[in-house]
Amino acid sequence: MNLFYHNYLIICFINASQSLISNISKYLFSQILNVCLNYICILMKVTEHIKKGNGKTLFSFEILPPIKGKSIDSIFKILDPLMEFKPSFINVTYHRSEQIYRKKSDGSFERVEIRKRPGTVGICAALMNHYKVDAVPHLICGGFSNDETENALIDLNFLGINNVLALRGDPPKNEKFYTPHHSGHHYAIDLVKQIKNLNRGIYLESEISEGVKTDFCIGVAGYPEKHYESPNPDMDIMYLKNKIDAGASYITTQMFFDNKKYHQYVKCCHDAQIEVPIIPGLKPISSKQQLSTIPSVFHVDIPSDLAIEMMKSKNEKDTEQIGEEWLLMQVKDLIKSGVPVIHFYTLGKPNMVYNVMKKVL
């Protein structure tokens, strides 16, 4: 090999190495940037998402933890296609334990307490890890002592979850009225106050003098058609205002099928000096049976136009199509009126939500 060729090879090698190093460093830099961006994106509060949205309507989904014994893959199966729409956050519901009577081998019955859908906190962490999306766990008062609630909040804080939807919870299935745990909260406002205290570093044990201050963004529930226990809409809004004054930063509404009710509700809230974002909750309605189950379970009306159209439908596919068109109409109207977020109660019908989202995005 002559000297010229030897030198030429060395220069080529140096150039290739430089370009390789530069490409590697560019790649590493972009990877680090991605990790940072993901980290920044997934550690945002609901209110920060809304602020960053700058007036654009955002989307969020709500899922239930799987029944005990089922895999988290069932959740990923629901969410995988929906992630195409880049939801700003995903809510995960909380389910209290129930008392059931189980038959023993001798024929007698024993009363046992079971939790059918555990895992809310774990699912939130899994969603954040798997999809790099913010998760909003629901926390309920029913069935929990204040101490258990504090421990759950500490777990959430350790996991970097800084959003919580604070709720009272419903009575267990076999009971008519809500009764609090003997050392738990009566109303959602008491839970809001407990979370707010933790944000100030105030723990239940007074010996903890310089406790870590958490930084939870607290959401609460609102009812455009009034909460079923409330004597009248005005008192319901008065209690809602108290929850905001106690430290909640936004409201997510119960499902509704008539947008007029949502718009009227927002107006009543404004009249009552409630200034926080009011996120409308929408549920796809997909079967004739739901025309009676939804009003009885959620205490909301189904508009006559929708109910009559659905009753006329000839098969399940037609019924679903009608429900989908109704949902699309609601979504388009809400986007037009500039709502901050549309929250989908995704539950068992992710395909309907998917089809509607495909048409609006």
Separation CA 361–CA 356 (nearest Å)? 9
| Identity of residue 55 | G
Mode of pairing for the β-strands spanning 98-103 and 109-114: antiparallel
Contact with ligand FAD (CB under 6 A) among 49, 117, 138, 349: 138
Using CA atoms, how far residue 301 sits from 172, 213, 278, 279, 296, in Å, is 23, 42, 20, 19, 9
**Smallest gap, in angstroms, from Cβ of residue 240 to ligand FAD?**
7
Separation CA 129–CA 122 (nearest Å)? 11
Contact with ligand FAD (CB under 6 A) among 93, 149, 162, 249: 93
**Smallest gap, in angstroms, from Cβ of residue 82 to ligand FAD?**
18
| Binding status of residue 278 toward ligand FAD by CB under 6 A | no
Q: Based on CB atoms, which residue is closest to ligand FAD, 171 or 201?
A: 171
Contact with ligand FAD (CB under 6 A) among 76, 85, 203, 239: 239
Find the binding residues for ligand FAD in span 160-179 (CB under 6 A). 167-170
Q: Based on CB atoms, which residue is closest to ligand FAD, 96 or 349?
A: 96
| Binding status of residue 140 toward ligand FAD by CB under 6 A | yes
**Smallest gap, in angstroms, from Cβ of residue 31 to ligand FAD?**
37
Task: Give the contact letters, 202-221, x = binds to ligand FAD (CB under 6 A), - = no.
Answer: -------------------x
Cα-flanking dihedrals φ and ψ of residue 301, to 5°? Answer: -90, 155
284 contact partners, CB below 8 Å, separation of at least 6: 323, 324, 327, 344, 345, 349, 352, 353, 356
Contact with ligand FAD (CB under 6 A) among 230, 264, 313, 351: 230
| Binding status of residue 97 toward ligand FAD by CB under 6 A | no
First to last CA, the chain: 64
Separation CA 265–CA 174 (nearest Å)? 32
| Binding status of residue 66 toward ligand FAD by CB under 6 A | no
Q: Based on CB atoms, which residue is closest to ligand FAD, 41 or 100?
A: 100
**Smallest gap, in angstroms, from Cβ of residue 342 to ligand FAD?**
13
CB 161 within 8 A of CB 137: yes
Rg (CA), the chain: 25
Of the candidates 87, 89, 85, the one whose C-alpha atom is nearest the C-alpha of residue 359 is 85
| Binding status of residue 127 toward ligand FAD by CB under 6 A | no
Residues that bind ligand FAD (CB under 6 A): 93-94, 138, 140, 167-170, 187-189, 221, 227, 229-230, 236, 239, 243, 252, 254, 281
